[in-house]
Amino acid sequence: PAERDLAGRHVVISAGGTREPLDPVRYLGNRSSGKQGYALARTAVARGARVTLVAANTGLSDPAGADVLTVGTAEQLREAVLKAAADADAVVMAAAVADFRPAHYAAGKIKKKDGEEPAPLELVRNPDILAELSAHRGRPGQLVVGFAAETDDVLVNGRAKLARKGCDLLVVNEVGDGKAFGTEENEAVVLGADGSETPVPYGPKEDLADRIWDLVGERLPESDAP
Ligand code: PMT
């Protein structure tokens, strides 16, 4: 990649997995480690960007040179990302965000009662942050990048997701069977709203991150920074 080609740019990255609390000891969560999002943050810093990393439940150490905001739930992640995106050149949503959260939070630990069937878990929908970012850009020309974690019909589902979310680029990676979640390596196809399709072969998550920044860099309007 061109050295420091993101100098003067502000990029916002979300990483990790949200946790939606049920009671003080339990939550609904997912298997994201945050490694892909942190690789995006490290490579963006290396290329000269100002980086805001919104991290959900990762347990990873802060990448040097990035501003790190830690969050727990999808609601908190939404607030932090939207605020940081106000003046961002690009936003990349690598976090695995829960689509649903428990409808009720129990202030005390939920107890099991002998002989009783467990109560069904009632869920409500979380806001779709990527769709919201795409519909309301923080500034003109802002690039919005999403990820798609798919287990089957990966490209067909990816194309449909790109159209539904309205983002500029969608990084489609296959998950399940030990793929992508928690690993050091990844492979993906980056779909563009312009119809482009960029396959990125299996390799370190940094390599995929660098390819994403290449594609973002090509699409960013000229910088108005001096
Ligand atoms: O963290 P790692 O262990 O390194 O693993 C990396 C990864 C597999 C988590 C990552 O590469 C990845 O695919 N991240 C997106 C996971 C995901 O939530 O995919 P999705 O297909 O469910 O969501 C599509 C997109 O919409 C994502 O950009 C997601 O951030 C966003 N989204 C989803 C739901 C929601 N309510 N709001 C959102 O903004």
Helix (H, G, I), strand (E, B) or coil at 10: strand
Is 126 part of the annotated catalytic residue set? no
Higher pLDDT, 187 or 115: 187
DSSP run (H or E) holding 157: helix 154-165
Nearest to 148 by CA among 217, 107, 99, 215: 99
- Residue 1 pLDDT > 60: no
CA 101 / ligand 1 centre spacing (Å): 16
- Residue 142 pLDDT > 90: yes
The verdict on the CB of residue 128 being under 6 Å from ligand 1 is yes
Helix (H, G, I), strand (E, B) or coil at 133: helix
CA 172 / ligand 1 centre spacing (Å): 10
pLDDT tens-digit series, residues 40-67: 999 999 999 999 999 999 999 999 999 9
State how beta strands 20-23 and 26-28 pair. antiparallel
Say what the pLDDT of residue 19 is. 98
**Number of other residues whose CB lies within 10 A of the CB of residue 99:** 13
- Residue 77 pLDDT > 80: yes
- Exposure of 6 by Cβ count < 10 A (0-12 exposed, 13-18 middle, 19+ buried)? buried
- Residue 200 pLDDT > 70: yes
Q: What is the mean pLDDT of residues 206-215?
A: 98
pLDDT tens-digit series, residues 106-115: 999 998 888 8
- Exposure of 151 by Cβ count < 10 A (0-12 exposed, 13-18 middle, 19+ buried)? exposed
At residue 30's C-alpha, the angle toward residues 123 and 90, to 5°, is: 100
Among 40, 82, 130, name the best residue to mutate to test ligand 1's pocket (greatest count of ligand atoms within 8 A of Cβ). 130
- Asked if the interface predicted TM-score (ipTM) of this complex is over 0.95, the answer is yes
CA 138 / ligand 1 centre spacing (Å): 21
Q: Rounded to two decimals, what is the model's pTM? A: 0.97
Q: What ligand 1 atom has the least distance to the C-alpha of 33?
A: 3
Say what the pLDDT of residue 226 is. 52
